[in-house]
Chain A
Amino acid sequence: MRRWRRMTEAMEIRVTDEGKEFRNRVLETPGAEKLMHCYQCGTCTSDCPVAKRVPEFRPRNIARLAMYGQKERLLSGDLLWLCAGCYTCYERCPQEVHVSEIVSALRKLALEEGRLHPTIKVLMGSLSEMGYVYEIGEFENEMREEDGLPPAPQPDVRAVEAIMRKTGLMDRMGGE
């Protein structure tokens, strides 16, 4: 009996104060309020197109790790950025936890911690510089003309950049 108690004590999962703080940051992010309603049924994981092919990407585990405030395990590597945003887990979650929204909240926290995925950072940089995520300049417009298409709209780049500065996104992304 005593031995059993010792074992369970050793195995007990404790949420550290740091973990609680991180969990609260997740819960305070709009969309992620229902995190603690997750009862780990795994519907999200069984229907996830990425989980079927990437063993380490498990939406259910992401929810569990978030409940325990496991910041490092969540923010390290490319885990959060493997979500394709297909909303299958969102649609099928019986508890309306919406793991895709949990991932979205975690990405916002990753950004705050300066851990935006480099690929996404490049895309967002292009958006602020060109108003498009891909270059649509002289060459592209010549190609369009050959295809019988009108020139692409010229985005108001100054407006786009001003928006991204004003919301503070540019600062959080790390300047340029």
Chain B
Amino acid sequence: MKYAFFVGCTTLSRLPGYEKSARRVAEKLGVELVDMPESGCCGTTYMETLDHKTFLALAARNIAIAEEMGLDIVTVCNGCTEVLTKANKELKENPELRREVNEVLAGTGKEFRGTQEVKHFVRMLKEDVGVDKIRSSSVKPFKGLKVGAHYGCHLLKPHEVMEFDDPEAPTSLDELIDATGARSVSYPNKLECCAGPVMGIREKVTWTVGLEKVEAVKKYADIMVTNCPFCYLTYERCQFMTENSPNVPIVHIPQLLGLAMGIDPDDLGISSNKVDASIMMEKQEA
């Protein structure tokens, strides 16, 4: 298995632990992630709301790079996944739009042809690698570790674009977590948005939304697992915006998987998580 790896601005610049663990886990599972030369920002979910053609063209330029590589794209960000998936779908389905966008791309040396697919890391694991393989690779399974899973929004929604899992009752992330020996628990408002995109508009709203969720997770689980850099940053940072921090470790899904696979915590960047996550190692079979 081989994919073009679209890391995305936030993970590239701020979350080495997420990127590192995704790369190591992929390697361990025999999945090759190839970097995409000259790729840049997906365009952002904001761009979708500002200008349709710019959103399509910026996404198309990135997708065209993967087309040249002859590989499907794997991303680790819900936002990038939604942006690239939506643009890919619209441009594949609408030849007139494709022609217009390729006109915008003319002169950049790129052309959208519509030959590749876009997948989130979680989807790639669930559909292409398989939960069984994750289970059999978990040589150092967790014991008694309770996890609050947070899917975020754009892995699943809008459902007619993402066409993955059930947006109202998803199971993919829970299945991956359970395959490590840990137990994915249910908790109130599990599917609620992190409100990360509002951070730059009214910061306090994001911290309030974030803290409410982290507090809910604390009642039922030892750690919280995310699959999006924005969700991760919201739930981690909000805990430093209050005097009574709930102190819930926020963990990237490949970090959890990687530990269960026996990968060294340093190779997974566990120490770069701002809330101490050593409880994970304590709840692992030797």
A160 / chain B contacts, CB cutoff of 8 Å? 40-41, 58, 61
Taking A91-B158, A134-B13 as known contacts, 19 extra A-B pairs with beta carbons closer than 8 A to each other, sorted by chain A number, are: A82-B202, A84-B195, A107-B49, A108-B51, A111-B50, A120-B50, A123-B46, A127-B40, A131-B41, A132-B41, A133-B9, A133-B44, A140-B12, A144-B12, A153-B36, A154-B38, A156-B38, A159-B110, A169-B50
B157 / chain A contacts, CB cutoff of 8 Å? 86-88, 90-91
Which of B19, B198, B269 has the most CB atoms of chain A within a 10 A radius of its CB? B198
How many pairs, one residue from A and one from B, have CB atoms within 8 Å of each other in the complex?
Answer: 171
Report how far A108 CA is from B48 CA in the complex, Å.
10
The answer to whether B9 and A49 have CB atoms under 8 Å apart is no
Provide the main secondary structure of the chain B interface: helix
Report how far A159 CA is from B168 CA in the complex, Å.
39
21 contacts between A and B (CB under 8 A): A81-B201, A85-B197, A91-B158, A91-B168, A104-B48, A123-B200, A124-B47, A131-B40, A132-B41, A140-B13, A147-B272, A149-B20, A153-B36, A153-B38, A156-B40, A159-B108, A160-B40, A160-B61, A163-B105, A164-B54, A167-B53
Residue of B with least CB distance to A52: B209
Residue of A with least CB distance to B38: A156
Q: A107-B50, A134-B10 are in contact. Are A91 and B167 (CB under 8 A)?
A: yes
B153 at the interface (CB under 8 A from A): yes
CB distance from A128 to the nearest CB of B (A): 10
The answer to whether B197 and A84 have CB atoms under 8 Å apart is yes
A148 / chain B contacts, CB cutoff of 8 Å? 20, 267
The answer to whether A120 and B193 have CB atoms under 8 Å apart is no
The answer to whether B16 and A50 have CB atoms under 8 Å apart is no
Contacting residues of chain A (131-168) with chain B, CB-CB under 8 angstroms: 131-136, 140, 143-144, 147-150, 152-160, 162-164, 166-167
Q: A103-B49, A153-B36 are in contact. Are A50 and B12 (CB under 8 A)?
A: no
Partner of A135, one of B13, B51, B53, B154: B13
